[in-house]
Amino acid sequence: MNENKLYKNSKYQNVSRRNFLRTAASFAAGSSLAANFMQSRVFAGQEKTKSKPNVIFIMADDIGYSDLAAYGQEYFPTPNTTKLAKQGIQLTDAYSNAAVCTPTRYSVLTGTCPFRKYHTSHVMFNGEPMIIGKDEYNIAKMFKQQGYKTGVVGKWHLGLGKQLPRDINNPGFGPNDIGFDKSYIVPDGHNMKPKYYIEDGEIQGGTKPPFESKIKILDRYGYKLVRHIPKGKWENRRKDDEIGARLVQKAEEFIEQNSENPFFLYFPTCSIHFPIAPDKRFEGKSGIGKHGDFVMQFDWTIGRIMQTLDRLGLAENTLLIVTSDNGGYRNSNAHSSCKEDYRPAAPWRGHKATAYEGGLRVPFIARMPGAIPRAEVSSEPIMLSDMAATFAALTGYTLKPDQALDSFNILPALTAKSSKNEIRPYIIGGDRALNSLGLREGKWKLVYYPDKDKMELYNLEDDPQEKNNLAAKFPEILWRMRALLETHFTSGSSRKGAEGKRKTLSEILQEKQERNKLIEEKFGSAGSDNKEGEPLMRKPAAQIKQTPQLSLEIGAVLFADRDYKVRNLPYVLKRANFVRTDMDGTKTIVCKKGGMVHFLTPRPHRNKDSQSRRLEMQGFEKVDIPEFKFFTERDSNHCTLYQKNCKDGEKLEFGKWAVPVFFDK
């Protein structure tokens, strides 16, 4: 694949904040650019039937920069997004606000950087309440105030209800309470349980019998999050391979029902997040495996929406945007789902869950005939949080000082009137928990790790793949960028005229401890009201065909082809045995007799071959014990324990670094 296909379209020109503010001020609500959108049917030579344009914002889940053919992927066709790019504009320098899903979704709807609050920097689990407040600005509420019908169809993943833990049998406070007239949602990630849909606040299929659960406290980067886990077996009302077709059907229904009114549709898809489960109609279509098949299904989704707009005569008066919530997977085979091992985040360094370009730079295609030029490519840097100010300008809404703190009107970029770094003073994104932050100003890029106070500096103009760290060579630029990063937080906002709460980065990080204290007070000092830990180990262990099983003790060599030894052994692992295998490659063990099987593997955010996800896809769950140093003495290489009650004859696959563990009865 040609990873340099779009380099020629990327410009990295530095621009001062003063110049930015002078330019951005000229694009206020009610500008001539917004008027162009409002009169798009006139431009198209049609009779003007209504002045307000419809808006459809489609956001994929984990589609990488190079997953689409329009951005250089050459393994299989994605004809609908390619067609859309030819009919509109394609941005080369669009950024998600975070390298993971929930924080970006928060920013898309509110127009505010998710890292201004520690809690909104995290991925939510099914025990967490809604992170958007009733009185907080969001684009659905704004559209509704401007006379639009509003709808959300797809992956929500912003929490529900107001209580902690949230009630999984009674969702409560949800999308319909913050401005959406219609909602049909997958409440969390489609990999998360309970597996049901919620329509307008009602769980589809009811709650009789109820979904009984117990609370489990998860630790993510030292931060405690609440999760429901099943008591017994929960009914699956949402088959993975049927989600895509169901959601596109509901999206089409919303468009059809509101074809006579101006409408806004927020359509965050579940594709292509794991589990990689394309519709059966797409199995084998890409020729390279399920990853490619799933991308093709996403492209088909775009085609269905385009066809619906054409059929209803709405295409000329609809702003259609297609993008992704964060960068792509490390490789296309991250979930053992692809024959060809291409890089979805190419040509950039990094991937989802990193602050490098590959974690934050996303595809972005927009179409509106008559207002957006055809087959245009723009290198104007924008962020997904900019939708708030853009849609406000489009509909004539004037943002108040406490609204959309970090959002900028990108209509100049969409109309190809600007491609010179004139809209935003800088780009800022990062990984969950502020684990890493990326700040781009013009050609310079700072990558900062707050917990280590580590800084890296890159010149994207000369080194777009971030290979050459210039921190030591240009200390003045490094510290200027670090000061700008701090100013982003202490100023309380980045949009001209906006006023948010001013906090230092260290104060934001301190919010972690305040939340943890709340969780401990509510659920006990151990962080959970069901002390799982050791009792889980006492269930009967499975018997497997592989031998020998060796004693897990300090000094034991873990792999046949590597001299990695056990450095530390928590109490819960006493009397455990393990199977020694090669480190590399995919391995299999077979349960001769059913029972509990455990695996030790590096913690998920260090688990570069996605072994934890591979285990989770087979039904393994993380055991609620603290992470611990195991393979090496390096503080960064911690380990987690996964478990599953396996059946007779069940085959279990595992990859690099994973160690099968069994406990004495």
- 65-113 per-position pLDDT tens digit: 999 999 999 999 999 999 999 999 999 999 999 999 999 999 999 999 9
Least confident residue range of 47-56, 139-148, 497-506: 47-56
Place of tokens 């089409």: 252
**DSSP strand pairing (621-622 vs 638-646):** antiparallel
Spatial separation of the C-alpha atoms in residues 574 and 576, rounded to whole Å: 5
Sequence length of the chain is 665
Phi, psi of 548 (to 5 degrees): -85, 165
Alpha helices (runs of H) in 2-125, residue ranges in sequence order: 17-24, 32-38, 40-43, 79-87, 101-110
Q: Match 């394309």 to its residue by tokens.
A: 278
The β-bridge relationship of strands 54-60 and 198-199 is unpaired
Distance CA 520, CA 280 (A): 45
Task: Give tens-digit pLDDT for 258-294.
Answer: 999 999 999 999 999 989 999 999 999 999 899 999 9
- What pLDDT does residue 209 have? 87
* Cβ neighbours of 522 (radius 10 Å): 15
Question: Which two structure tokens, joined as six digits, stand for 145?
Answer: 């105030």
3-state secondary structure 228-277: EEECCCCCCCCCHHHHHHHHHHHHHHHHHHCCCCCEEEEEECCCCCCCCC
Per-residue pLDDT band for 296 (boundaries 50, 70, 90) equals very high
Helix (H) or strand (E) holding 500: none
Instruction: Give the Å distances, CA to CA, from 260 to 149, 174, 267, 304.
Output: 10, 26, 20, 20
Q: Left if phi > 0, otherwise alpha if psi is -120 to 50, otherwise beta: which for 340?
A: beta
The type of residue at 194 is P
pLDDT value for 37 = 53
pLDDT score at 184? 98
SS3 state at 26: helix
Range among 221-225, 338-342, 583-587 with highest mean pLDDT value: 221-225
Query: pLDDT of 645-659, one tens digit each?
Result: 888 888 888 887 888
Quick one: what percent of the chain has pLDDT higher than 90?
64
Which residue in 184, 330, 292, 283 sits closest to 243, CA to CA?
Answer: 184
Confidence at residue 3, expressed as pLDDT on a 0 to 100 scale: 44
What's the token pair of residue 306? 């385009």
SS percent in the chain: helix, strand, coil, step 5 = 30, 20, 50
Q: Using CA atoms, how far apart are residues 441 and 518, in angstroms rounded to an integer?
A: 38
| 22 pLDDT more than 90 | no
pLDDT tops 70 at residue 525: no
Q: Are 85 and 70 in contact (CB under 8 A)?
A: yes
All domains of the chain in start order, with CATH: 60-374 (3.40.720.10), 534-663 (no CATH)
Which residue, chain included where needed, has tokens 């106070």?
Answer: 453
Q: Which pLDDT tens digit goes with each residue over 487-501? A: 999 999 999 999 999
pLDDT surpasses 80 at 540: no
| DSSP summary character for residue 115 | G
Which residue, 211, 270, 198, is CA-closest to 240? 270
Within 8 A by CB and 6+ apart from 647, the residues are 591, 594
**pLDDT value of position 658:** 86
* Model pLDDT, residue 642: 87
Helix axes 290-312, 79-87, angle to 10 degrees: 50
On whether the CB atoms of residues 380 and 20 are closer than 8 A, the answer is no
Residues 66, 292 contacting (CB under 8 angstroms): no
pLDDT tens across 580-619, in order?
Answer: 888 777 888 888 888 888 888 876 544 444 677 788 888 8
Q: Which of 43, 55, 226, 25 is nearest to 131 (CA)?
A: 226
